Structures are given as structure tokens and as C-alpha cells.
Structure 1
Amino acid sequence: MIKMDFLLCFIFLFSLFAGIKTQENAQGKLSNALLECYNNTDVLLKDYKLPQNIHSFIAIIRKIEDNSMLNMDLRQLSVALIHRFRQDGIVFQPLVDAQPGVTPYAPNGFQFYRHAEMLKLIPGNAQTFPNNSITKIERCSLHSMVSSTIDTFQRGDESSTCRVDNESTRILDKRSIDKNSQPPAINQDDVETLSPEQIEIIKNNKDESKQDNDDKFLPNNWYPALPPNHPENSHLEQTPTSQCPSESGVMKTDWGVVSGGPVLAGIAAALQPQNVKISDLMMRRDWSSRETLRDVTLDNKWIATLAGDLVEVALRQGPMKDTPFKVGTEGHFITSIIPKNYYLNEEQALELTAAEIRGDLDGLIIANEISYWYSKVSSIKLSQILDMYYSDRGVFNTTIRACNRKNLLKYIAQNDTITKQTFRAALVLGNSQLPLGTISDENIEKFSIQVVNKLFDHVSTSMSSDRNCQDNDVNAIPFNRLAIDLKIFVDTTWPFNLIKPILHLIIEKSDVNKYASNFTLLNAKNGEIMINSSYSILDIYSFNETQYASFARGFDLPKTLDVMKNIQTNKLNRERDLNIGGGKSDIYLIIPYSLTSLSDTDRDYSLEKIIKMREDAPDGKIIFLTGGAKDRWSSLVVNSNDDIFTVGSGTTREIRGPIDDLIIRIKKIQRRLINSQCGANYESIGYTSSFTDYIEPSGINFYRLHPNYFFKSSSDDNQATIKIQGQSTSGTLKICYSRETLDINSTGSTCTIVDSNTYSMTFGCSDANYIHECSPLFLSIFYNNTANTNYQCIDSKVCRYPDMIKYTISYENLNCKSTATLTKFSLIFIPIICLIFKIFNY
């Protein structure tokens, strides 16, 4: 038995140290793979870094997963990401000259010691990671969201970045660290040459020491203070500290700023679990006096998350004289719309920030559940888990989600368990350079207990300001997830710094990704494409001022509408060629600048063009988001309250409010049901195709079929028919239809329940003589199942979430009718209609 134990120990140690040898980011120098993020000026500049938010994080991971060169499952990818992109404690070295072969960054921060120990317990490497699956900017942005670091050096921008002016005493305050500055001249004949100012400093220091009764008998106070140019004080001049240190490794979410490293590490650790005896991690330790501790184990998911960060507090704050434990320091981004650099509101006791607490809790919550999810859906993606957790819907139920982290703490991490794991991790890290001083086992245990109690106090009292689940609970009502084809025509008169946050917020709130919405950015001067149709939010994030400035500047609405008409024509013809029977809402957003005006001639032409487009492509919706007054554009829309929004260009509030209103309006625009025979000229060719769509639990999708596709003469008895085929045994669909607009709270509709059977509805316009007298057909489909445990949707190419279900919409007896088929004689009425719109602002 002893031989077997020895063999197992040998195997563990061999794999441990063999793994460490390949763990480049566990070494005490900057990882070679990360050098590109610190040797490249463009990457270091905040203007080039992607926004540090959950949208970027998920989009980058999704891009990696979609790469054809990736051959990894969830476990392998999580481990590889940790070993490729995370290295904690990398700080700037202000006295180092950047030169070939010398980089002024190194992992010298206290966070590195826990990081290096954690990697021993998450064995693996990133040797097969497809490095070119993402760009350099994306690689470095991902690194900066998962690598925990607090840089305390003074930056020189504190007047604009610090929200809290801490008046903490400093030996040297706001002293320049410019290496090119010349030192004061020194008289070589004297040991020390003191200026009048330096003499005054010595005098003041002596006076202060006399006033301090407690310290007046200390031996050092019998001597004058050392002058600033004394060698013993040189290190103080070289390292002035910031009033608001910068924290890296964080990202903004709707549920608070989160440290990304513990989230990713918790997942990797749980999928590759290790329970290691601490005696195997402390080989030189004499256990004779603490025999009971020899065989206790450390769980890798704990050191990767909550216990690992609590250890830093225990070993660094615990030994400090008369200093109570402090955790949960908050911080701020300069702008919440484009969050890039994050600054802490305090400069002391930074071992466990609020962002790290949230990240630790999230990582631990997911770690506790992920093995079960993985066993149920072996094809589940990392991006899917993060997408569900950081949303209102939750991971397969509404319990496991970010807004509920505070309530989940008592279930996933009881006080006794946290204390034991923190103490064990602290014993291991007590042998590193992390502790401030040499600490006995008894004090390590005492400090561990105290800091865990402090954590629970903080979570219960100080995290109440985080957005909670009740603020937007999906259980209260069904939710309508956006799915839009968004064309944005931007007036390039907008200064880039003003239009950039507007575009970012629109794209974020439009839920742009391969499963939901896509966007195209076009120049409203000439219709030139600035960003081609994209399903990735990374494309708007990486669009920079240099690219923007390369396009023609100005605004030409008639030209914009001509381009828009061509887009609509090409889209309808393409859908006919590809037999597409339905799709996303079709939105055309025009963003004029506040100073832009429109001549009467251009206005008349534009109105005529818009009316024609409403007739030929009735599913296309034109909306204005203007930087100026609404009345400049009100004659061009049906309802200026619904289709024109005014956006500011100053504070975040001036931008967020109008864009929130814009998104609410867009959500009311239904998805499209079409006859794929028609095309842009409404001449029937081929056959009518069916349409397949997906829906998640508690989700509701709204559709509209325009009368252009089913209007018939009163003598035609063959009415149109729609059939909905459910394809699930795990839940039911509630199908409602009406000839009036439907919304979540609609009551005046005909509804039925469908599971795996087919439901048919017949409709027409027998009483209408003209198309405009015939109302569209409105349809809603609701999946009434909040806890689907039958995960059928496993094809990640089409299934955003594994608990989605599929349904098919098919048609019979549709046709193709439009004013496009009217005689030329009828077209003389168009100018008259335009005149009516102008007179009545209709």
C-alpha cells in the first residue's frame, strides 16, 4: 500500500512539474506569447483596445469557436485560453527604458504568486491553440480582460481619471518620473548640497516629530530627516503612486464590473478537477508539528476563484498594524458606453476589489454546475454558457444567472467550506513572496477566518447596488428577442468622437451576433459601404477614426434613398433566388447630424421615393435618429413620434435615453413572412418556400405577412393558408394570430397550443377592393417552458442555446400583388399623394 501511495505521489509530481515546464505564463517573466501586447504601441493605446465588456468577451470567444482550425471541446478550450491569455500581476516598470530586447513590463505584482500556483492545479498548455483565429487587437483585448493586475504607479492623468481625490499622506506627491529630466547640479566638493527648500523640509520634519508625543523618544527622531537627494531616499522619488490605480482584467456587464480571469479559471478548473494534498504542494515543509494538515486537500476550483483572492487579503492585510480588513473596492470607467480603462476609487487595500468578488462568485457558481451541463450537452460551447449566464434568462433556468450571484453565495459557498479552502490555499501561498512578513500557521488560520467573515459582510451590505433579477425578470412576462437586418446610413458630418458612442450603443442593444441581428454601416453622403454586412460586434468596435476619415464627408438624402431602394430590390430578388420564405425585421436607420439641412427640392424627391418604397418593399422600415430638431424630417415619416428620435452628443444620459427609446420602437417591428415567388417585381416565379425559425423558453417571436403576398380579387375563393409545424416533445408553442398588431399583452387574438402537430390558419381580404384596404396578418409564437431539460438544439451553427426548439412556417395559395404592377396611368397620382403628405404632415 505504501508503494502504491508513493507511486501515485510520484505520478502526480511528475505530471505537475512536466506541466509547469510548458506553462510559459507561470514563469516570473512576461510570457513570449503576450509580448506582442506590450511591444506594440497601437495595442497599448486605449484608442485601439476593444471595449472591455461582456459583448467583446463573448464575441471574441465565439470567433475562436467558429474557426475551422479549432479542434477543441469546452474543456480543452477553457484550459487553453487560461494558459494562452492569462498572466496576472503584469505591471509597468517606470524606470526601464523600452529598447530592442527590453520590455518595461513584468509580472511583478502580488497577483502573480496566486496565478502561478493556480496553474499548477489546472494542468495543460496552449500549444495547439489556433493563434490566428483572432486578430492581434482581439488577442490583446482578451488578455486584458482575463489578466488581473493593479498598477499603482502615478500615470500623470489623474486630474481627468480620478473621481475620488484621496488626501492620503505621501512622501512624494505628484513627483515626475520622467527619466529624461535632468537632476539638480551637485557640488562635487561637498557630501551633500542642500537648497533653501530642502533645508525647510528638514526643519518642518523636525517640528512635526516634536509634536508627536508617541514617537518623540524613537532613536531615529534624534537625527534630522534625510534630504530628498540622499541615496536612501532615491527609491521613493522613483515610484510615486496614483490616487486612482488602474485595474486590468475586468469587463463591464449589466450586472456590475467583473474580473474575467476567475470566471474563465473556474470553468477550466471544474472541467479538469484536481483535489491535491497541500503536503504535495509544500515539499520542503516539516509536518511533524501539524500532522493533521498533511493530508488535507486543496480544490483547484477554489484557488482559481474565491479562496485564491481571499488568500491575498489574509496574507497581505492581516499582518498590517492596526489595520482592519477591507475588501470590495469599487472603481469606474471614464465612459460606460466605451469602457476601456478602469480606475479604482481608492489607493489602499486593493487585494480584493469589487470586480474580483463578482468574478470569483460567477466563476464559482458556473464551476459548481458546469459538469452537469457538460454531461447533458457534450457539444455545449463556452460562448453559450457565458451568453446565458450574463443575461436575464439564465443558464437553462432563471436561477443560475449573474443577477442572482448574491443570493447563490450561501448555497455554493458556505462559511465553513470557504474558510477551510482559504486556509489551505494560504498555507501553500505562505511559502511564496506574497505575504507581508513571516506568518505562523495559527495566524494564517486566524486571518483566513476573519477575511471570510469580512467577505460575507461585504456581500450582504455593499453589493445591494448591483442590478438584481427583479429589475427585469423574464418570468414576469414573455420576452421578445431582437432579430433585425439593420442598415445604418450615417451622416459623415458627425465628428467621429461624437458618432462613435452612438453607433456602439445601437449595435450593442440590437443584439448583433450570428444567431440574431446583423448590421451594415453606409455613408449617407454617397451610399458607400463603410462596414459590410456583419454579424459580429467586433467590427464596429474595431472601426476607428482613420477609417472613418477616409470616406467622403457630408449628407445627401436623395442619394441615400436611391441606394436604399437598390438594396431593397436586390434583397427581394436574392430571397426569391434562394427560396427564402421569411426573415428578420428590415430596418433602415438614417442618422443626420445636428447642423444638416434639406432643401425643398431634395425633400420633395425624398418623399416621393419613400412613398414608392413603402409600396414596393412594405416590410422595410425607415427610422430617423437625428442630432437636431425633429421637424426637419417629420414630413418624411408617417408618425414623427414613432419614427424620429433625437439623440444628444454630450453626456451618457443624453445618448442612452434616446437609443433605449429607439430600440423599444424597433422591437415593435415584426419579423417578415414573405412569398419567395415574388421578388422585387412581384412576378410569380418558382414555388413558395417554407421558413424555419427557433425560439427559446419564455421567448415570443412576432411576424407579419403583408397583403402584397395574399391579396386577391373577391371572385377568387382560394384563400391563403399558413401552417405552423411544431418539432418538439419537450414543450408546447402558443400560436396567436390577428389582423391587428400583436404585442406581448395582446388579448384580441385567436390562439391555440401546438407541440409536435401542425396548426393551420386560413385568411384573406374578400371585402377589400384595393391592397391598401387589406390588413396584414400578424402572428406570434410563444414557447411557454421556463425549464426545458430536453436539450434538442445542439447544432451551434443555428442554435444560440441548446434549450431552443425549432418550428416551421409554410404557406399555401399565396400570390404576388403590388402597386409595382399598376398601370403607368395610376402613377400620376403619386405626386398628389406626396402633396397630401406635405400638407398634413401625414
Structure 2
Amino acid sequence: MKILLSLTLIYLAGIAAQENAARNIPASLLECYNTTAMLVKDDRLPHSMPALIALIRKIENTAGLNMDLRTLSIALLHRFRQDGIERNPSVQVQDGIVPFSPTGMSFSRHAATLKLIPGNAISFPNSSLTAVERCSLHYMLSSSFEMIQRDGESSVCSTISQTAQYRVERNVGEEDATESESIGDDVETLTPLELEMIKHKTNEYQPKVTTEDPNWLYPALPPNHPDSARISTYTQSSCPVENGVVKTKWGAVSMGPVLAGIAAALEPQTVTLAELLSADLEEKGYTSGPALTNRWIATLGGDLAEAALIQGPGQVSSINIGAIGGFNSTALPRWYFLTTNENLETTTAEIRGDLDGLILADSVASWYSSVSTLRLSQILDMYYSSRGVFNSTMRACNRRTLFSTVAENATMVNQVYSSALLLYEEVARVTMSAERIQSLATIAANALSVYIPASMNSDLPCDATNAVNDSNTASADLTIIIDTTWPFTTIQPFLASLLEGIEVGKFNSNFTLINGYDGSLMINSSNMLLDFYSFNATQYANFTSGFDLPKALEALRILQKERLNKEQSQNIGGSNSDVVLVLSYTSSITTDADKEYCLQQLRIIREEVPDSVFLYLTYGSKDKWSDIAANSTTDTFAITATSTTDTLTTINPVISRIKQIPKRLINSACGASFSSTGSTASFVDYVEPSGIKYYRLNPNYFSTDTATVKVQGAGWGYLNVCTSRSVVQPNSTSPNDVSCTSVTTNTHSISISCSGVDLIHRCQPLYLSVAANASDSVSYQCTDANVCRYPDMRKFTISYDNLVCRSSASTFFFAPLVLVVSFIINFM
């Protein structure tokens, strides 16, 4: 009796203040539905995993935030998720009336889930995000369907080509009346298998049953039925929009179930149906199902129960799951279109989200117990990556394999059955016995067991993930000088993919955007992708259009000198690589005088900022930059067409080149003037298991006298340290001129000098790498959220002795001797 009372009190406490479980839009979400700007999808953030992680990191970094992984996961669920919100097309916006409410089929499961995950969002820091960011997060986490036909949608729904491209356009809907008709040809791709399923509308992967369904005898809705009137008045879309879906490299994922699975595992509840259902249903035998676990109704159990209750009575031999679709854009995904308007209870995006949520729920409590400082952003960052959560097994590419581990068939059948009994009164459209519900739940569970291995094999597998994985992540201070004659709609997706590719964020890269016409700042130095996502066409148009590289280089010199002086004042002994990307359109350097001036400016910059590397990306032929680039083979790139698809094909070579540029080891005493002031600071850095970091110390910081660079491990695991004077990326597999050694807590010293050369530019830099072996035992000592991207990163320190400050690329190392010789010659 005491146990029952305790469970009841927990349940009642859980539903207190759960405004998102009510049949109306809560006050906290009204701003996303009563403001026109928030309803326009193209004015919100893209539905991509980097955008979602950036939002969660921003919340986690809020000053004074007192929320751990458990409390924040639950607060996010209760604050931002409300499934099933639909627009009433019969009602216009009026004072005091918002024509949206949670009337969709997915609301009931959502409400039941919230009641089984006790908590609220009372202490959530609303000011941590802007209104656009709050609403973007809501739409990323909340599942719903836009079923009404949109104006001009035929160009979206019918264009499924034989080349497996699903080309889609933005269309003007009631809430998106200000949007343009087309976004060009940046498209999602469907596999031939998916296209064949669409073309033939087969049930090839659905299990067949012979049980006769008695409900086929029920007639269709009468003509005077309200639902019948609504259906006849508003035509159904042939390719409805599914909301709450986020694009990942491993397929489109419904993110609400992922968050709910994590939250449920951190606040576990297993409740009998007798505690949840009414006395009337208990008398009729509907409480006979197994105890319900909240992680199951939050993920696979809930969606499969919907399919069983809604589809089951009308299907003679099968339950159809796995409706597929595609995003409107590869770079800036905001619309996710489905290829059918039928059987949407368990879409493929929902299956991925349910499965990912259940996989993470199976382990997150153990991780949290081992790492009390573990963050939600870290879990998502690791799982949706090539590295995995603390091992290579726990990652999105492996979900098909992990399915049988976390969803044993008997358990799944029981949990789908119990979920269906709980949802029966709210979801079912017919009257069914508990026995019939159990039968349909079994069919739905079996359908999933067949569907995942047979129809989800087009998702990027782990071997392909490993093939494209680069253990060297970009760490760059990227300055982009943009020719503002570029059309914003053309250059925006390119820049988005570029910045995501170099992993702009507090742990990797940052960027600055400069107007190529006059050198004015468009976006000041930022390590937040959100700053770029919020930069829109209106802001872009406010800058003077054009391209004047001499002016831009003058402004760049000032910025770079300010950066060096800032590093000196802050005593920074190492930092990201310094990369400048000149992004030209149709403009070029037209006169010999301008070309000579630019070459002069570039020479000065190389003397004042020796670590800077210039790259050039242009529309058309890249030959026009061959005289300007230091290396026209490696540092110039061309976009040969202005379509979005063609510009995106240029991204990978640019990203790869940026990754090749080592991080900077510097003498913090030098500054922009290269006159030594103060002491030389050490440099602390971190590397993840299986990762590697590359560095370069320019000869401007050492001379004919011997200098020393020291690498010391913090004892968090073995590190492999390699050095070279000729190999830019030295590692243990490099064939020549590379020296390697292991470091744990000891210090490895490297002696360097420019002995035997007379000019700085003839002296080779020191190239250094630090790598961590993944085979070592896992250590979770990296707990400082300001510097640790992952808890298992390994810390090391790079320090120096006898560094100097020399700036000019033509400086003689033997300057005093040269002056003496010159004096003697002049007076002979």
C-alpha cells in the first residue's frame, strides 16, 4: 500500500505544472504561433544537428545556470516540446484567437509521456535564448504534420526523378505567405530502394497476417459528419510536411523522442496500468497488460501503439510503417516533405528518433553515474558523430545493429501493448477489446522488426562513416572576405556548410565575415554558428555591394595586428590556425597597379603575421588568382556554376585544405610589433581519443641560438608526440624526417634552431603533432566545460625556452655582422 501511495504521489507531482500536456498551446509557446515572423520557416534556424547542439550549448553556458544533465533534459522536454499542434484552416488570426492547437494524432502519446516523466520548466532560463532561437528549438523538438494542400505544391510532390533526386521547393502556405517560390536545386537524395517503394506503393516489407478484421464492416463517415465536411472542404496534401525532424548524416531524425528517451532514463518510471487507467477500463480488463516503462512509451512503444490503434482496425493483413521523405535543402534544411499522406503514425524519421532515444536511454544513466558533469550537448555531439559516445559502438551509424540489443522482441511487444492500452481511449477511432489490441500491438512490433533490417540499410553505415572520418578536426580562426555582389541565396548555403564543416564552436573554430567592398565587419569574430544562422538577406543587403580587395586587405591588417596584441596582453602561447578566405564572384583585380598593391599588402601581412594563410575561392576560372596566391595549386578553388548544388561540391576541398593548416605555436611576448615584452607563456590543449592535433612554430620565434619546445602530459592517458622540420603533418606513420615518442606525465623536449641559414624564410618551421590512442583505458577527467568538448579528452601542456621575436621575412639572422661589413665596405 505504501509503495502504491508513493507511486501515486510521484505521478501526481509529475503532472503538476505540466502545461504542455494540456489541449491548448501553453503561454510559453504562444510567441511561436501569434507572430507572423515565427511562423515563416525560412526565418527560423535550420533543422540541422549542428544548429540543435549549438542551441543546447548556449543554454548550458548560461551564467549561473544550476541544471545538470537530468534537470536540463527534463526542463527542455517540458518547456519546448508539444506534439500534434495543427492549424485550423477555417479560423483566421483574431484578437485573442490563435488558430493553432494540439489536435493532431501525436498529441495524446506526447501528453502521456510527459505525465510519466515528472518535472517542469519553471526554472528554465528563458532569457538564455532569443525568441527566434526559442521557437526554432520548439519546432525541432515537436512532432506534427501539415496535411492541408499548399498552393503550387505539385512541383514538390511530383518531382521524384529516376536519378534518385527528390527536388523540392518552398511553397507559399498560409503561414508562409512571404516566402519565395523556389530555393534553386539544393536537394535531398532518396535511394533507389526508397524510390521503388514510392513508385509501386508496395507493402513488401510488412508482415502479412491472416486474421480477418471485423471492422471492415463499418461504413465510411456519413456526409453530415463534421470530419467528413472538413475532409471534403480542405484537400489533403500529396506530400505533407513533417515537423520536428532534424537532418543528420545518418538520416532525418525526429528529435522529440531522442530527448524524451534521455529524460525518461534519467527519471525512470515503471507504472502498472491500474495506476494510470480509469476504474471503468479496469473493470473491462484493459489493465491486464504488463507494467509500462516510461522510456518505451516515450520512444518505440508510443509510436507503434499509435500505428496499432489507428491503422490496425482498418488493415486486413498489415500495418504500414516507415513513411519516408526529404529535406528542401542539404545545407539549410527547414522543410521536411513526406512522399505520402497515408499511414503517418510511425514515419522513418520517427523510427530513427525512437530507436536513438531508446539506445541512449539504455546507457545514459550509467554514463551519468561515471561522469557527473556530463552534458546533453556532449551526448548528442558524440552519438551523432564518427567517434561515438565513449566507444565506437554507441553511435548513430550503428543503430540498426543496436536495435536487437535494446529492443528484445518480447519486451517490445509487451511495451507496445501496454502503451496501446494507455492510449486507447484517446487515440482509437473504434471500440476494441484488450485481446484485439494485444494482437495489433504484436503485428506493429513485428512490422518494425522486419522494417529496420530490410528498409533502413540506406542510412550511412559505420564502415562508410569510418572511411570519411578525419581524426584531425579543423581548429581555425577563419576570416572570410566576401565579394558582396554574390547573391545571398547562392552564397548563404555555401557559407553554412563551410562553417559547419570546420566545426565553428567554442572548442574548435571561429569566423569573421568582412565586406570585400570596404573592409567593414559584417559579423565580428564569433565561435557561434547561431550568429551566422541569424544573419539574413535583409542584413546582407544593408552592406554596400562590391569588391575592392586593396581596401579589404588594409582592414584585414588592422584586425590581425589587433589579434596579435590581444594574444600578447592575454599571455596566450598558442592558438588556432590563421586562415583568410577571399570569396570573389564576378569581380577581380582589374589593373596592374591594384595587383601590385595587393601583392605588397600580402607581403607585409606575411611579415607582420607570419602564420597567416590565404585561400582564394572564386566563381569561374581560378586562374585569375594564380599570381596572387602563394601556392596556386593548393590555395585556389573555383565554383564553375551558381547553382547551390554546384557550390556545395566545392566545400570539401576547401575544408580539407583548412584542416591541413596547423595550429599556431607563438611567443606571447612578441605581439604585433615583434618587440619582446613580458614572458613567454605556455599553452594548454586537449586531444580526444583517436584524435590528433597539428602545430607549427614559425622561425620568427627562434633563431641561431637553440630554443626548446616541451610537451608534458597530464597523466590522463598515453600521448604520441611527433616532430619534423619538413613534414607539415608528422605522425607515427610518416616515412621520413619524423621523430616520435610517448608521453604520459613526463616531459618531452625538442631542441630547435636556425643554425646555418642567413634569412628567416630559409629556416624551416618546427612541425609538431600530439595524438591520443583510443585503445587505452577510458578516463573521464576532462570536466571543465569551458575547454573540454568531451569528458574523455586528454590534457597536455606545450611550453618554451629561449624564444625570440623577429618579424620581417627578409631579416638577416646575422644583422650586426652585416652592418659591420657594410660599414667597412663603405669606407674602403
Residue 581 (structure 2) aligned to one of 584, 589, 607: 589
Report deviation, 1:604. 1.2
Report deviation, 1:287. 4.4
CA contact (8 A) 1:788 1:803 kept: no
User: In the superposition, relative to structure 1, how do residues 662 and 165 fare at CA in structure 2: closer, same or farther (>3 Å)?
Assistant: closer
Residue ranges of structure 2 left out of the alignment (5+ in a row):
162-171, 176-216, 816-828
User: In the superposition, relative to structure 1, how do residues 50 and 177 fare at CA in structure 2: closer, same or farther (>3 Å)?
Assistant: closer
State the alpha-carbon separation in 2 of the partners of residues 642 and 687 from structure 1. 36
After TM superposition, the structure 1 = structure 2 runs for residues 423-822 of structure 1, keeping only pairs within 5 Å, are: 423-432=417-426, 434-473=427-466, 479-648=471-640, 650-712=642-704, 718-728=705-715, 730-743=716-729, 745-748=733-736, 749-786=738-775, 788-819=777-808, 822=811
Residue 387 of structure 2 is aligned to residue 393 of structure 1: yes
Report deviation, 1:656. 2.2
Secondary structure of the equivalent of 1:625?
Answer: strand
User: In the superposition, relative to structure 1, how do residues 75 and 541 fare at CA in structure 2: closer, same or farther (>3 Å)?
Assistant: same
Residue 92 (structure 2) aligned to one of 92, 97, 105: 97
Report deviation, 1:155. 1.7
Q: Which residue of 1 aligns with 2:238?
A: 243
State the alpha-carbon separation in 2 of the partners of residues 139 and 664 from structure 1. 34
Residues 149-178 of structure 1: CA distance to partner in whole angstroms, max 9, x if unpaired? Answer: 112111214123325689xxxxxxxxx999
CA contact (8 A) 2:289 2:414 kept: no
State the alpha-carbon separation in 2 of the partners of residues 574 and 481 from structure 1. 25
State the alpha-carbon separation in 1 of the partners of residues 627 and 218 from structure 2. 86
* 2:734 partner letter: S
Residues 281-329 of structure 1: CA distance to partner in whole angstroms, max 9, x if unpaired? Answer: 11324546759x5483100000001111110111111101436211111
Report deviation, 1:14. 3.9
User: In the superposition, relative to structure 1, how do residues 603 and 438 fare at CA in structure 2: closer, same or farther (>3 Å)?
Assistant: same
Residues 536-575 of structure 1: CA distance to partner in whole angstroms, max 9, x if unpaired? Answer: 1011111011111111111110011111211222222222
Deviates further, 319-328 or 300-309: 319-328
Residue 36 (structure 2) aligned to one of 41, 49, 55: 41
Higher Cα Rg: structure 1 or 2? 1
Residue 255 of structure 2 is aligned to residue 260 of structure 1: yes
Deviates further, 608-617 or 81-90: 608-617
State the alpha-carbon separation in 1 of the partners of residues 558 and 487 from structure 2. 28
* 2:721 partner letter: I
Root mean square deviation, CA, Å: 2.6
Residue 319 (structure 1) aligned to one of 313, 319, 338: 313
CA contact (8 A) 2:482 2:513 kept: yes
Secondary structure of the equivalent of 1:642?
Answer: coil
CA contact (8 A) 1:710 1:813 kept: yes
User: In the superposition, relative to structure 1, how do residues 402 and 243 fare at CA in structure 2: closer, same or farther (>3 Å)?
Assistant: same
CA contact (8 A) 1:163 1:345 kept: no
State the alpha-carbon separation in 1 of the partners of residues 253 and 726 from structure 2. 44
Secondary structure of the equivalent of 2:279?
Answer: coil
* 2:442 partner letter: I
State the alpha-carbon separation in 2 of the partners of residues 358 and 233 from structure 1. 33
User: In the superposition, relative to structure 1, how do residues 163 and 469 fare at CA in structure 2: closer, same or farther (>3 Å)?
Assistant: farther
Report deviation, 1:436. 2.6
User: In the superposition, relative to structure 1, how do residues 231 and 61 fare at CA in structure 2: closer, same or farther (>3 Å)?
Assistant: closer
User: In the superposition, relative to structure 1, how do residues 103 and 645 fare at CA in structure 2: closer, same or farther (>3 Å)?
Assistant: same
Residue ranges of structure 1 left out of the alignment (5+ in a row):
167-175, 180-217, 713-717, 827-842
Deviates further, 563-572 or 459-468: 563-572
State the alpha-carbon separation in 1 of the partners of residues 383 and 269 from structure 2. 24
Deviates further, 678-687 or 649-658: 649-658
Report deviation, 1:741. 2.2
CA contact (8 A) 1:487 1:519 kept: yes
Q: Which residue of 2 aligns with 1:402?
A: 396
State the alpha-carbon separation in 1 of the partners of residues 477 and 219 from structure 2. 74
User: In the superposition, relative to structure 1, how do residues 439 and 229 fare at CA in structure 2: closer, same or farther (>3 Å)?
Assistant: closer
Report deviation, 1:813. 1.4
State the alpha-carbon separation in 1 of the partners of residues 32 and 135 from structure 2. 5
State the alpha-carbon separation in 2 of the partners of residues 219 and 514 from structure 1. 60
Report deviation, 1:650. 4.1
CA contact (8 A) 2:44 2:136 kept: yes
Report deviation, 1:92. 1.1
Residues 561-618 of structure 1: CA distance to partner in whole angstroms, max 9, x if unpaired? Answer: 1112112222222222222111101011111113545322211110121122223322
Report deviation, 1:651. 4.0
Report deviation, 1:47. 2.1
* 2:290 partner letter: V
Sequence identity, in percent? Answer: 47
Residue 299 (structure 2) aligned to one of 305, 312, 320: 305
Report deviation, 1:235. 3.4
Deviates further, 269-278 or 789-798: 789-798
Residues 98-156 of structure 1: CA distance to partner in whole angstroms, max 9, x if unpaired? Answer: 10111111111010011111111001111111111101111111010111111211121
Q: Which residue of 1 aligns with 2:192?
A: none
After TM superposition, the structure 1 = structure 2 runs for residues 822-833 of structure 1, keeping only pairs within 5 Å, are: 822=811
Report deviation, 1:757. 0.5
CA contact (8 A) 2:723 2:767 kept: yes
Deviates further, 42-51 or 569-578: 569-578
Secondary structure of the equivalent of 2:750?
Answer: strand
CA contact (8 A) 2:717 2:779 kept: no
State the alpha-carbon separation in 2 of the partners of residues 664 and 178 from structure 1. 43
Report deviation, 1:448. 1.0
Secondary structure of the equivalent of 2:580?
Answer: strand
Aligned residues: 759
Q: Which residue of 1 aligns with 2:214?
A: none
* 1:60 partner letter: L
State the alpha-carbon separation in 1 of the partners of residues 16 and 745 from structure 2. 55
Residue 383 of structure 2 is aligned to residue 415 of structure 1: no
User: In the superposition, relative to structure 1, how do residues 326 and 786 fare at CA in structure 2: closer, same or farther (>3 Å)?
Assistant: farther
User: In the superposition, relative to structure 1, how do residues 567 and 219 fare at CA in structure 2: closer, same or farther (>3 Å)?
Assistant: closer
User: In the superposition, relative to structure 1, how do residues 625 and 760 fare at CA in structure 2: closer, same or farther (>3 Å)?
Assistant: same
CA contact (8 A) 2:689 2:773 kept: yes
Secondary structure of the equivalent of 1:677?
Answer: coil
Report deviation, 1:507. 0.8
Secondary structure of the equivalent of 1:116?
Answer: helix
State the alpha-carbon separation in 1 of the partners of residues 173 and 381 from structure 2. 43
Q: Which residue of 1 aligns with 2:167?
A: none
State the alpha-carbon separation in 2 of the partners of residues 429 and 230 from structure 1. 24
Q: Which residue of 1 aligns with 2:114?
A: 119
CA contact (8 A) 2:606 2:809 kept: no
State the alpha-carbon separation in 2 of the partners of residues 48 and 10 from structure 1. 49
State the alpha-carbon separation in 1 of the partners of residues 503 and 99 from structure 2. 39
Residues 1-29 of structure 1: CA distance to partner in whole angstroms, max 9, x if unpaired? Answer: xxxx1x43344334423432411111111
CA contact (8 A) 1:273 1:301 kept: yes
State the alpha-carbon separation in 2 of the partners of residues 357 and 370 from structure 1. 19
- Please report the TM-score for the alignment, with normalisation by the length of structure 1: 0.87
State the alpha-carbon separation in 2 of the partners of residues 372 and 521 from structure 1. 43
State the alpha-carbon separation in 2 of the partners of residues 757 and 318 from structure 1. 66
Secondary structure of the equivalent of 1:256?
Answer: coil
Secondary structure of the equivalent of 2:679?
Answer: coil
Residue 348 of structure 2 is aligned to residue 354 of structure 1: yes
